[in-house]
Structure 1
């Protein structure tokens, strides 16, 4: 398991929601998440220049007051008014994260990073803060996972 500790600045995300989930590779690989990725990507491709269609896609897990999470399948925007009308907006504050990338232990890159999170948490190498958690998809085989931690 390898990870780095990073500080991510505040960011604005907008997209479509999958409510009441538990962040894991099973959710990330679910048919509903894939469906939402396709819809968000189609909308982006329909109205964007070719350079914009190469932007990374995000899944931002946002904790609710009841302790569940909502998964927002989205793109990042500089300003909220740049987001498509009707999308759900989330502003993630600046925070400290453990950054995980696939290390090759699993064939599936998203299962790989989530397994590393489970190992790091179980061995007490990191203490999860249970705030926003962010997957960044650079393409179908390249993923980064940022887990909010207590410094």
Structure 2
């Protein structure tokens, strides 16, 4: 298990949402989440005014956002410069500046998503990190390239 500690600036995300999930590789690899990722890739990047699959090369995000009741909602989408540029009809989430443990696949698992989430479980169980249970972010740089940012307490 290897990870780094990073500070991520505030960000605005827009996209499609699935309510009441528990952050895990099972959710991330779920059929509904995969369907929504494909739909976003297919519709293109409306921020740039393009049609079709023009978002290729631009990272796609899976953002787990907690609600006051302790549930998580997952937003699958892109980051935007401001809330004004999020496409009409998309759900908007603003993630504040925060400290994260950054995980990348290390090859222990065949599935890169399962790999990063297993590393989080190991780091938490061994008390190397203390999760803050705030926003947690998967960054997809391709259909199989992923990194995971876990909010932590410092």
What's the counterpart of residue 43 of structure 1? 43
Q: Aligned partners of 2:97 and 2:34: how far apart in 1?
A: 28
Query: In the alignment, does 2:15 pair up with 1:15?
Result: yes
Is residue 44–residue 54 contact of structure 2 (8 Å, CA) maintained in 1? no
Is residue 45–residue 54 contact of structure 2 (8 Å, CA) maintained in 1? no
Where structure 2 has 5 or more consecutive residues not aligned to the other structure, the ranges are: none
- Quote the offset at 1:18 in angstroms: 0.8
Query: In the alignment, does 2:113 pair up with 1:110?
Result: yes
Matches within 5 A, 1:29-68: 29-44=29-44, 47-48=49-50, 52-68=55-71
TM-score after normalising by structure 2: 0.94
Q: Aligned partners of 2:114 and 2:137: how far apart in 1?
A: 14
Deviations 1:10-63 (A, max 9, x none): 000000001100000000000000011111112226852776432010000000
Where structure 1 has 5 or more consecutive residues not aligned to the other structure, the ranges are: none
CA RMSD of aligned residues (A): 1.5
Deviates more, 1:36-45 or 1:48-57: 48-57
Query: By percentage of residues, which structure has more strand?
Result: 1
Q: Aligned partners of 2:103 and 2:26: how far apart in 1?
A: 17
Q: Aligned partners of 1:150 and 1:29: how far apart in 2?
A: 27
| Structure 2 SS opposite 1:130 | coil
Q: Aligned partners of 1:129 and 1:51: how far apart in 2?
A: 35
| Structure 1 SS opposite 2:6 | strand
Deviations 1:66-117 (A, max 9, x none): 1110000000001111111010000100000000000000000000000000
What's the counterpart of residue 6 of structure 1? 6
Distance 1:85 1:60, change over 3 A: same
